[in-house]
Amino acid sequence: MIRKRKKVEVASTDSAEGAIANKETEGLSQGQIVTSRFLRHRGAMISIMVLSALILIVFTALDKKLGPIRIPGWWKYNTLDQPDLRVEGCPQGILGCPTLHVVPGFLGGKNFGIGAHPFGQDDIGRDYFALVMQGAQRSILVMVVIGMVAGFIGTVVGAVSGFYRGWIDAVLMRFTDFIITIPVIIIGSVIGFHFGNLGILFLALYLGLFTWTGLSRLVRGEFLTLREREFVDAARVAGASNRRIIFKHILPNAVGVIIVSITLTMSGAILLETALSYLGFGVVAPDVSLGLLISQYQDSFTTRPWLFWYPGILIIIIALSVNFIGDGLRDAFDPRQRRQMTKKVRQQSTTLLNREAKSE
């Protein structure tokens, strides 16, 4: 097998910066350091706000049925309602154009207003806002389920093979290779085409069973290095069981890698779902998903572009914010990444350090 010679840990090149970093994190637990680093990552914070606002809007918009109970949504239409197609205010010969207007009055627009059908209507008059909300619900659901299933399997497989090594590792890694040989989109299409009618949860579960491979390799690598560290030896000498070492000593240290790759798997998953639905192997009509909406209306792009724009923009917003959150988490968990210091802060800290050095 391939063995990498142990990398020499890179010493901090700038001792002053190192000292500042230590000063910043003095007396804080690992969790607190990670949280504060994450909170300072501007892209990730904006993404978290955007994503949670979006999820809130998307999941409360429509009526929901939980068994016999019906929870009303705040949006007036449902995906099944077919109000009359809007004619007035639309370009010549085009029906059901969107009523959303955002151009402020002093620029000659009509100020902000959502009107009756902000995203317009589809060809039979269904409210497109309701359809897009329904599609986004589906896509987010698929994304989360795939992330959970793939995260769980990937972590377990990676952890077991990295910790126990030997023949268990060999078998599990060959099994991983075996799953990798089957391109996800091929297996997804085969499954989606034949079992797509079993519902969206089934589809997501199945896709999750085939998207954990990259994650398991990363987790395995992390476990392989962590189990050689002194604190694991110390725990073993103190008589800790394998179970305890895995859950109490190694897993907390590997959680960064796991969380980051789960977020990246999730952003890949939403694109996978939309791609499969686009090809007709994912979510099938009458159910709605963002990819399905795009594929249904791509030919009407020249005449009724809104049918095409809104689902696409929603996909991008969701995937982009998940990606940024993942990036923020990676920066926060990576101890080698030092927060970029502005010139001012660096100068202040250096003078502070100099003063301290003098007084000592």
Partner 1 sequence: MIAYIWRRLGILIIILFGSSFILYNLAAISGDPAEGLRGSTDPRAKQQLYALIRNLQLNVPPPARYFIWLKGILGGFTGHLDFGKTRDGHAVTLDLASAIPTTIRLIFMATVIAIILGITVGIVSALRQYSRFDYAMTFVAFLMFSLPIFWVAVLLKQYLAISFNNFLVNATISPGWILGSSLISGIFWAGVISGDRSKVWKIFGIAAVASATLSTILSLTKWFAHPGLGPIVLLALGIGVAFAVTLLSTGLQNKNALKASLAMPVFGLIFYYPVQKLFTSHPGFSLIGVMALVTITVAVATAIIFSKIDRGPIIRTTVITSVLVGFLALVDKLMRTWQPYMQTDAINNRPIPTSGQSNPLLGTDNFWFTSLDTLTHLFLPTIALTLISFAGYIRYSRGTLLDVLNQDYIRTARAKGLNERTVIMRHAFRNTLIPLTTIIVVDFAAIIGGAIITEHVFGWVGMGTLFNKAINGFDLNLLMGVFFITATLSVLANLVADLLYSALDPRIRVVSKS
Q: Does 124 interact with partner 1 (rule: CB under 8 A)? A: no
Distance (Å) of CA 283 to CA 27, 142, 280, 308, 358: 51, 10, 7, 17, 69
Among 4, 65, 243, 343, binds partner 1 (CB under 8 A): 4
Q: How far is the CB of 268 from partner 1 (least distance, A)?
A: 9
- The b-or-e profile of 41-58 (16+ CB within 10 A means b, else e) is beebeebbebbeebeeeb
Q: How far is the CB of 276 from partner 1 (least distance, A)?
A: 10
Are 96 and 125 contacting, i.e. CB atoms less than 8 angstroms apart? yes
The nearer residue to partner 1, 251 or 294, going by C-beta atoms, is: 294
Cis peptide before 98 (omega within 30 of 0): no
From CA 196, how far away is CA 150, in angstroms rounded? 19
Task: Give the amino acid at 262.
Answer: I
Among 53, 103, 168, 170, binds partner 1 (CB under 8 A): 170
User: By CB under 8 A, what part of segment 206-265 binds partner 1?
Assistant: none
Q: Does 345 interact with partner 1 (rule: CB under 8 A)? A: no
- Which residue stretch of 6-14, 210-218, 227-235, 244-252 sits at the interface with partner 1 (rule: CB under 8 A)? 6-14
Q: Does 8 interact with partner 1 (rule: CB under 8 A)? A: yes
CA proximity to 197, closest of 119, 93, 281: 281
Q: Does 38 interact with partner 1 (rule: CB under 8 A)? A: no
Estimate the crossing angle of helix 251-279 against helix 184-195, to 10 degrees. Answer: 60
Among 255, 327, 346, 350, binds partner 1 (CB under 8 A): 327
Q: How far is the CB of 266 from partner 1 (least distance, A)?
A: 12
Q: CB-based burial of residue 177 (10 Å sphere; 0-12 exposed, 13-18 middle, 19+ buried)?
A: exposed
- Interaction site with partner 1 (CB under 8 A): 1-5, 8, 10, 13, 43, 170, 174, 177-183, 185-187, 189-191, 193-195, 267, 271, 274-275, 278-279, 281, 291, 294-295, 298, 301-302, 308, 312, 315-316, 318-320, 323-324, 327, 340
